[in-house]
Structure 1
Amino acid sequence: MTTQYAVQSFRKKGRALIADQQRTARSADAAIVMAERMATTRDGVVAYSQEVDAETDCYDEPTILYRSGLLPPELAA
């Protein structure tokens, strides 16, 4: 298994939250720094890590590292 780190940002368009292109990071710290920077220009940002088994294509539940602003309900908790 390997750990993947990602940052997902969102923009508000009318009543909808639109997801931007997901960005990857090399480490948890890098994902958090990237998310903190993006939070100044986006309506919502979440950084997370996730264990992935490439051989079986299995993904563990993501672990939230950072969240800020407006997020979809499944990420806001």
Structure 2
Amino acid sequence: MATMYLVQAFKQIGRKLVADPVQTSKSAEKAVAAAERLAPMRAGVIAFSQEVDIETDTYDEPRVLLKLGTLPPGLME
């Protein structure tokens, strides 16, 4: 198993939230720092980690590290 650290930001376009490409980070701390840097420029941002078994292509439930701003309803709740 490997742990992936990811950051997903969202832009507000009219009434819609549009996802930016997902960014990867090397650690939880770097993912949180990246999310904090993006937050002032985006409607919302979430940093999360996820355990992945590359051999079986299996993903565990994501674990939220940080949520800031406005995010799509039900995202990782």
TM-score bracket relative to the smaller structure: over 0.9
Question: How many positions carry a matched residue from both structures?
Answer: 77
Q: After TM superposition, give the deviation of residue 26 of structure 1 in Å.
A: 0.1
Counterpart position of 1:2: 2
Question: Secondary structure of 2:74's match?
Answer: helix
Identity of aligned residues (%): 53
Cα deviation per residue 1:31-76 (whole Å; 9 max; x = unaligned)? 0000001001111000000000000000000000000011011227
Taking only aligned residues, the RMSD between alpha carbons, in angstroms, comes to: 1.0
Ranges in structure 2 where 5+ consecutive residues have no aligned partner? none
Ranges in structure 1 where 5+ consecutive residues have no aligned partner? none
TM-score by length of 2: 0.96
